[in-house]
Amino acid sequence: MSIEATYVPSPLDDTLPSNPVLRALRVGWAWTRRYPVVPFAVLVLMLVCAIFAEQLSPHDPLRGNLRAAFTPPIFMDGGTWEHPLGTDHQGRDVLSRAIYGARISTIISTAVILAGGIGGTVIGLVAGYRGGWVDQAAMRAVDFTLAMPFLLVALVVVVVFGQSLELIIVLLVLFGWDNFARVVRAETLTLRESDYVSYARIQGASQARILFRHILPGVVGTVLVIGSLRVGSLILTESTLSFLGVGVPPDTPAWGIMASDGRQHLSRAWWISTMPGVAIFLVVMGFNFLGDWLRDWFDPRLRQLRVQ
Amino acid sequence: MWRIIVNRLAFGVAIVLLITIVVFGLSRAAGDPRNIYLDEYATPEAWDAWGERMGLDKPLYVQYGVWLWDTLRGDFGESLYYDVPSIRLVRERVPNTLQLGGVAFGVAILIGVPLGVISAVQRGSIIDYGVRGFALLGQSVPVFWIGIMMILIFSLTLGWLPSSRNEGWQHFIMPSIALGWLPAAGLMRITRGAMLNVLDSEYIKLARAKGVSSGKIIWSHGFRNAIIPPLTVAALIFAAFLTGTVVIETVFAWPGVGRLAVQSIKNNDFPVLSAIVILFSSFYILLNLIVDLLYAQLDPRIRLD
């Protein structure tokens, strides 16, 4: 067969530019979206860092050596292999802290996505299937969650209870379930009317069985797509909270805290703030590619077949 | 239309009340609220007087009523750190925040919307790629990092622009671009998408066939029909501004409300923080309310539903 699945970003975008540079850019971009090898490698690297932080990091992320403070990265004059990404104002190894930072971001985003995703999906399923007051109540709750200014609420909660990893996770879950609930509800409304669900009902299947065996598989794809697209924004939010001093406790090696620490020493040691930002950028890009890729994967309509 | 106005207004009031309940609940969650409303220098008389006035011996809903009445009159308690009424601290900093927010809002619209249109019209060109790269970058890095990198490049390395405080128009350049970038990116993407949809429609083809000039097609046939989708993301844009203001004011040492909020956390200054949270939230909800109504006004399908 000479038919090959080629990714086309949108039906409108199917003409290739004649300029060779643009053409290479477009083809490269389309190829990366279809086979996101580099973004996935970044995500795998992040996961490996998170799991094996102790084994991978060359130094203790918390203990510094003041005599080695402000060592520049390896590619600059005075850099050493001892500290490939340099050290901060307390002489702590930036690479080791960045590796441990991957762990903090992974813990937070995994916990929030799992709790928010599962909670939101169940609420969306029940609301969409049952309709009536259950649906009304769920959708009102979604509206309220959307309208609440997250950061301000987070600030006032943290000033009362103090910073902790658990508190940040709870806050992010409370503000992170609504998207799942809204989309799953909309899909459930459609699936509920489909013939196979009616047959299951006629056959005498229980409500739980219909929801979890018949409707859930139909929405799982969407949930995974939303989940992976959410991770990027979650990592951005978490790093912002940490930067402001309302995220994880101040001694934790988190990317936002590293960037904040380096701010006072910007003129002397630019790398302290810069490196964690690069890490955040790479990971967020990675998750966005993953989300797009999953969306194409689960939605065959977007995987247009083109005769080559 | 009236039904929509009443509906949204009621919703807005409900949200503000919910926020006051959250703040009140938090002030009581830490045990005796006097621990966070009074500092360690408070005399026993002041301690008792505060308890008396706030009705601490009465049931919670009475306490909430007393507290809410104070709040509605703008009495959020004295700042623990500055020993002046919290509302005064906030009021002094509001102009700075509104100025920066206003300029950044202008930046976001003036950059985001035209670039979105150009990017759609010149689809596939180098400009389109540049614009989309710019948008992608703005959405993939944290706002504080954009600010830090700008200071590093334009203040510390090149020495072109001041990196902190508000002392003249040069001081607005970096903070307003850093703050406006993320909203601009969102606007750009949504405008581009809306424009592409419109430009592909039958009536644009008809206009082209009739020989209408392309400037007229783009701006008067295309753009006018493409403004509604950007309005739907206004809520997200306001949210980006709300977070961005706090972050950017901290990065650029901007003497505004957002920086005061972050300082209040470091100072454990609950009265000031509660004032900021309630006032800022109300403002944010009001903005969203206005956009909702504007949207209903512009799109008859919503109004007549």
Mutation choice for A interface testing from B243, B263, B282 by most A CBs within 10 A:
B243
**Closest-CA residue of chain A to B200:** A12
- Please indicate whether, in this complex, the C-beta atoms of B265 and A158 are within 8 angstroms of each other: yes
Q: Which residue has the higher pLDDT, B48 or A155?
A: A155
User: What is the arithmetic mean of pLDDT over B239-260?
Assistant: 89
Q: What is the pLDDT of residue A133?
A: 92
Give the residue on A whose Cα is nearest the Cα of B31. A160
Mean pLDDT of chain A: 83
C-beta atoms of B140 and A284 within 8 A: yes
Does residue A115 register a pLDDT over 90? yes
CB pair distance less than 8 Å for B270 and A148: no
Tens digits of residue pLDDT in A194-205: 899 889 989 988
Q: What is the pTM of this model?
A: 0.86
CB contact under 8 A, B270 and A159: yes
Measure in Å the smallest separation between the Cα of B179 and chain A Cα atoms.
14
In a mutagenesis test of the A interface, which of B277, B288, B291 is the best target, namely the one with the most A β-carbons within 10 Å? B277
Residue A307 clears pLDDT 60, i.e. is over it: no
Binary contact (B281, A267; C-beta < 8 A) = no
Higher-confidence position of A134 and A89: A134
Q: Nearest by CB to A155, which of B11, B30, B265?
A: B265
- Nearest CB to B152; choose among A245, A256, A266: A266
Chain A environment of B23 (Cβ under 8 Å): 156
pLDDT at A112: 94
Each residue's pLDDT tens digit, B189-229: 888 888 888 888 888 888 888 888 888 888 777 787 777 77
Predicted pLDDT at B304: 63
Average pLDDT, integer, range B145-160: 87
A-chain CB neighbours of B269 within 8 Å are: 159
Residues of A in contact with B196 (CB under 8 A): 10, 12
What does the pLDDT average to over A171-188? 91
Least confident of A67-71, A217-221, B155-159, B178-182: A67-71
User: pLDDT above 90 covers what percent of chain A?
Assistant: 22
Q: What pLDDT is attached to residue A15?
A: 62
- The answer to whether the CB atoms of A150 and B36 lie below 8 A apart is no
Tell me which chain B residues have a C-beta less than 8 angstroms from the C-beta of A263.
148, 251
- Say whether pLDDT at A177 is over 80: yes
Give the mutation candidate from A145, A244, A268, A285 for the B interface (greatest B CB count, under 10 A): A244
Contact A117, A156 (CB under 8 A): no
Q: CB of A266 within 8 Å of any CB in chain B? A: yes
Q: How confident is the model at residue A8 (pLDDT cuts 50, 70, 90)?
A: very low
B247 CB neighbours in chain A (<8 A) are 240, 243-244
**Average pLDDT of A278-289?**
90
- In percent, the amount of chain A with pLDDT more than 70 equals 91
- Interchain CB distance below 8 Å, B145 and A150: no
Per-residue pLDDT band at B302 (split at 50, 70, 90): low
Residue B237 has pLDDT above 90, yes or no: no
Greater confidence, A286 or A84? A286
What's domain B93-256's architecture?
Orthogonal Bundle (1.10)
CA distances from B287 to A142, B192, B242, B283 (A): 19, 24, 11, 6
Closest Cβ–Cβ partner in A13, A156, A161 for B273: A156
How confident is the model over B94-149, as pLDDT tens digits? Answer: 998 998 988 999 899 898 888 988 888 888 778 888 888 888 888 889 999 999 99
Dump the DSSP string for chain A: --EEE---S-GGG-PPPSSHHHHHHHHHHHHHHHS-HHHHHHHHHHHHHHHTHHHH-SS-SS---GGGTTPPPTTSTT--TTSTT-B-TT--BHHHHHHHHHHHHHHHHHHHHHHHHHHHHHHHHHHHHH-HHHHHHHHHHHHHHHHS-HHHHHHHHHHHH---HHHHHHHHHHTTSHHHHHHHHHHHHHHHTSHHHHHHHHTT--HHHIIIIIIHHHHHHHHHHHHHHHHHHHHHHHHHHHHHT-SS-TTS--HHHHHHHHGGGTTT-THHHHHHHHHHHHHHHHHHHHHHHHHHHH-TTTS-EEE-
Decide if A240 and B143 are in contact by the 8 Å CB cutoff: yes
**Neighboring chain A residues of B123 at a CB cutoff of 8 Å:** 12-13
Lowest mean per-residue pLDDT among A13-27, A148-162, B78-92: A13-27
For the cut 80, the answer to whether the pLDDT of residue B232 exceeds it is: no
Q: Model ipTM?
A: 0.85
Helices in B57-201 by DSSP H: which ranges? 60-72, 86-121, 126-140, 143-150, 170-199
Q: Is A243 on the interface with B (CB under 8 A)?
A: yes
**A148 Cβ under 8 Å from any chain B Cβ:** yes
Q: Is A137 on the interface with B (CB under 8 A)?
A: no
Q: Which of B145, B196, B200 faces A277 most closely, judged by CB atoms?
A: B145
Judge: A240–B243 Cβ closer than 8 Å, yes or no: yes
**Domain-by-domain residue ranges, chain B?**
93-256
Q: What is the pLDDT of residue A16?
A: 67
Report the percent of chain B where pLDDT is more than 90: 10
Answer yes or no: do B148 and A26 touch at CB < 8 A: no
What pLDDT, in 10s, does the model give residues A81-99?
777 887 877 878 888 888 9
